[in-house]
Amino acid sequence: MGILSNIFSKIFPSHAGAAQGDQASPAGQTAQADAGTQSQAAPQGSVPAQQAPMAEVDVEAILNQKAQNNPQKLNWRTSIVDLMKLLDLDSSLAARKELAQELNYTGDMNDSAAMNIWLHKQVMNKLAANGGKVPADLRD
């Protein structure tokens, strides 16, 4: 199970398996190819074919509730490190580099500031693409 799957399982407990298809490629293309029933014209970021669309989950409300119950003051809205801490996940540089590899980051992994900004946007985009209601200002 990859880091992205762990993020999904913390936000969508019943959705843990869906993120696994997203690990291999940026829009779940592996899951779409495996499904065989997905139209070739499906847009990137669509829900994998083997999975029925879920009711939209309010990611912002879930994360705000977790932040309210957390003794640390974590800014999950802009920080991938704080988001990972809020979800009780390893937020080390090594873990973030692993997440970057899962999401096919092509930038310089030694520029952690740029990588972190990119990671946060990508995670929010993935959450939105898989049934999460994510505010537009947190996505690309």
pLDDT in tens, the chain (140 residues): 699 999 999 998 675 444 444 443 333 333 333 333 333 333 444 444 444 455 689 999 999 999 999 999 999 999 999 999 999 999 999 999 999 999 999 999 999 999 999 999 999 999 999 999 999 999 88
Rounded to an integer, what distance in angstroms lies between the CA atom of residue 95 and that of residue 52? Answer: 30
Coil, strand or helix at 121: helix
Please state the domain extents for the chain: 3-24+56-135
Length of the chain (residues): 140
Strand partners, 58: 133
Give Cα 22 distance to the centre of its chain.
Answer: 9
The residues, any chain, with a CB within 8 Å of residue 77's CB and separated by 6 or more, are 138
| Residue with tokens 């989950």, as numbered in its chain | 57
To the question of pTM greater than 0.75 for the whole model, the response is no
Question: Which residue pairs, CB below 8 angstroms and at least 24 apart, start in 6-9?
Answer: 6/87, 6/89, 7/83, 7/84, 7/87, 7/89, 7/123, 7/127, 8/126, 8/127, 8/130
Q: Are 134 and 60 in contact (CB under 8 A)?
A: yes
